Amino acid sequence: MTTTLNNATLNNATLNGAALKETPKPIAGTASYLDDRLGAGSFLKRNLRKVFPDHWSFLLGEIALYSFIILLLTGTFLTFWFKPGMGHVVYDGPYQQLRGVTMSEAYASTLKISFEVRGGLLMRQMHHWAALLFVAGMMVHMLRVFFTGAYRKPRELNWIIGVLLLTLALAEGLTGYSLPDDLLSGAGLRITEGVAISLPLIGTYLTFFLFGGEYPGEDVIARFYSLHILLIPGILLALISAHMILMWVQKHTQMPGTGRSNTNVVGAPFYPAFMLKAGAYFLFTFTAIAGLGTFAQINPIWLFGPYTPSDISAGSQPDFYMGFLEGALRIMPAWEINFLGYTLPLSVLIPALVPMGIVMTGLALYPFLEQWVTGDRREHHIADRPRNNPHRTSIGISAVTFYGILWLLGANDEISAFFHIDLYHTTIFGRFAIILGPALAYAITYRICMGLQRKDADVMSHGVESGVIKRMPNGQYIEVHVPPAEDIADHLRGKALIPIVPGEADSEGIPPKGARSILGKARAMMSKKYGTEHIPLEEDGHGHGHAALGPGEGDHKEVH
């Protein structure tokens, strides 16, 4: 610390025109005072030079991080005026269309924030847009980590923390948008109650516990408030810190390329280059959120009106991240089981629990399942390109399709109303698409990955088109191919083989130890499928000469 300061001061500061020979006492004194007591000098020295690899997709997680910071700040502002009470008041504020209407304190105070508190509406809108960007940022970050295999050892636990963060973010969102006690969020609360009460055995007790009696009761807003501003953000903050520390300690993965290996990190040091970029990216995030908050109206609760359990509006939707649950509920057939006077409402239970269970459990388990299938216990610090692990990419796109179809059908009434499609047709489409869509997505993605691998292999073995057309002595025209640029070639060479667990029977027809049981056989089969290399990269041995070869030697590939 001291040395850095010394240099900086020596270079920049002048006193009476003469260069300083030593650090001015106020700076040196303060620095060494702090260093002696905090030991910060050596810590900073070590960590400020931390190297971060550069790729645009590595910044996606920061969208969520910076949105979270903006959420904390705008949220604190909102707590100054929000009253989390369900006591009845008669509105007499400046919004004409609700004057004289009875409403809860929570709703009235949200109206006050929107129309009377200076900057209140902007803060509310920024808070809500930041929440949407927070979850969207987490989702794209998670997809990036998944498709590049960055969750592999040693980062599995950080991946689990990420899954927890996403789950908590959904809960944080639900408790947050319920707080204004408006008619739209009330519909969401009603579904929450419906899900809780449909749970077998404990449903009724759980509902009465949550709502403090019959729905909606007088307690739920205050309880959600405690969860929303204290408990869940506290856990989020702790987990985000853990997420960052682990990332820092384990170092960031990097894309394959020149000079990059599994044992180094190539990139820019944290100070100053990466810090500058991160700072700039925070400002961009802030720009996006402030811009949306200024120009695009979000959650206009005054249009929705106060919550009354008897009222419901057409087009009641949750925020986007809950859309997949809404869609599941909408396409679910009305099944229920009546047994000994007890009802098991499958039409609520299945859509509420199964898609969420598939998505979240699948995410949490994937690193471990993959490890089990491939038998790969090595550390990985080089990211996979999605095409180079086609089965993983196909599984991912399959899951995205499953989620996406449910999400789309959460808006089926708006789709029906605005595109004039029969509502029931959208439902029936959804019931088929939710089964067929992921399978189709798997097949298509796999083909695309193979095609891209073939393209890579082609670039490596034949080079890239140079744009030069050459006429051969025999009259044939060919396009001259040149070898790819070295950095591109290194990027392509980053393709790593996926290990396969042994499963082949030996010469006496006895399979290896692990592959004798049914499970073992299944594992060996899956491993073979998952890891088999179909399109190996072959470097072109004869280089430039290849293009000038005569006809009859693979030249059909070069004439386009």
- Separation between Cα atoms, residue 274 and residue 346, nearest integer Å: 51
Whole-number Cα distances in Å, 64 to 76, 98, 135, 466 = 18, 36, 7, 42
Q: Which stretch binds another protein (CB under 8 A): 149-157, 219-227, 238-246, 311-319?
A: 311-319
Quote the tokens at residue 422. 């029969």
Q: Which of 72, 106, 79, 77 is nearest to 91 (CA)?
A: 106
Subset of residues 69 to 88 that bind another protein, contact rule: CB under 8 A: none
Question: Contacting another protein (CB under 8 A), which of 47, 226, 261, 294?
Answer: 294
**DSSP 8-state code for residue 254:** B
Q: Which stretch binds another protein (CB under 8 A): 213-221, 296-304, 467-475, 524-532?
A: 296-304
Question: Contacting another protein (CB under 8 A), which of 172, 193, 319, 376?
Answer: 319
Q: How many CA atoms lie within 13 A of 110 on its CB side?
A: 31
For residue 502, cis peptide bond before it (omega within 30 degrees of 0): no
Q: CB-wise, 56 or 339, nearer to another protein?
A: 56
Q: Which stretch binds another protein (CB under 8 A): 201-209, 305-313, 432-440, 546-554?
A: 305-313
Q: Which stretch binds another protein (CB under 8 A): 210-218, 328-336, 383-391, 408-416?
A: 408-416
Q: How many positions of this chain bind another protein (CB under 8 A)? A: 71
- Given the structure tokens 């004869």, which residue do they identify? 542
Question: Contacting another protein (CB under 8 A), which of 81, 271, 284, 446?
Answer: 284
Subset of residues 484 to 513 that bind another protein, contact rule: CB under 8 A: 485, 487
Distance of closest approach, residue 403 Cβ to another protein, in angstroms: 13
143 near another protein, rule: CB under 8 A = no
Q: Which of 383, 379, 399, 403 is nearest to 391 (CA)?
A: 399
Subset of residues 172 to 201 that bind another protein, contact rule: CB under 8 A: 183-184
* 420 Cβ contact partners less than 8 Å away, ≥ 6 residues apart: none
316 near another protein, rule: CB under 8 A = yes
Site string for another protein, 93-112 (x = CB under 8 A): ---xxxxxx-----------
Distance of closest approach, residue 447 Cβ to another protein, in angstroms: 26
Q: What is the DSSP string of 402-450?
A: HHHHHHHHTTHHHHHHHHT--HHHHHHHHHHHHHHHHHHHHHHHHHHHH
Subset of residues 329 to 388 that bind another protein, contact rule: CB under 8 A: none
Question: Contacting another protein (CB under 8 A), which of 162, 318, 351, 430?
Answer: 318
Sequence length of the chain is 560
For residue 272, cis peptide bond before it (omega within 30 degrees of 0): yes
Q: Which stretch binds another protein (CB under 8 A): 11-19, 91-99, 497-505, 520-528?
A: 91-99
Q: CB-wise, 28 or 275, nearer to another protein?
A: 275
**Inter-residue contact 344 to 466 (CB < 8 Å):** no
Subset of residues 243 to 282 that bind another protein, contact rule: CB under 8 A: 277, 280-281
Quote the tokens at residue 111. 């109206």
Distance of closest approach, residue 377 Cβ to another protein, in angstroms: 32
Distance of closest approach, residue 21 Cβ to another protein, in angstroms: 39
Q: CB-wise, 414 or 533, nearer to another protein?
A: 414
Quote the tokens at residue 72. 């904390």
Beta carbons within 10 angstroms of residue 312's beta carbon? 12
- Separation between Cα atoms, residue 458 and residue 537, nearest integer Å: 8
Subset of residues 110 to 139 that bind another protein, contact rule: CB under 8 A: 114-115, 121, 125, 128-129, 132-133, 136-137
- Separation between Cα atoms, residue 23 and residue 6, nearest integer Å: 5
202 near another protein, rule: CB under 8 A = no
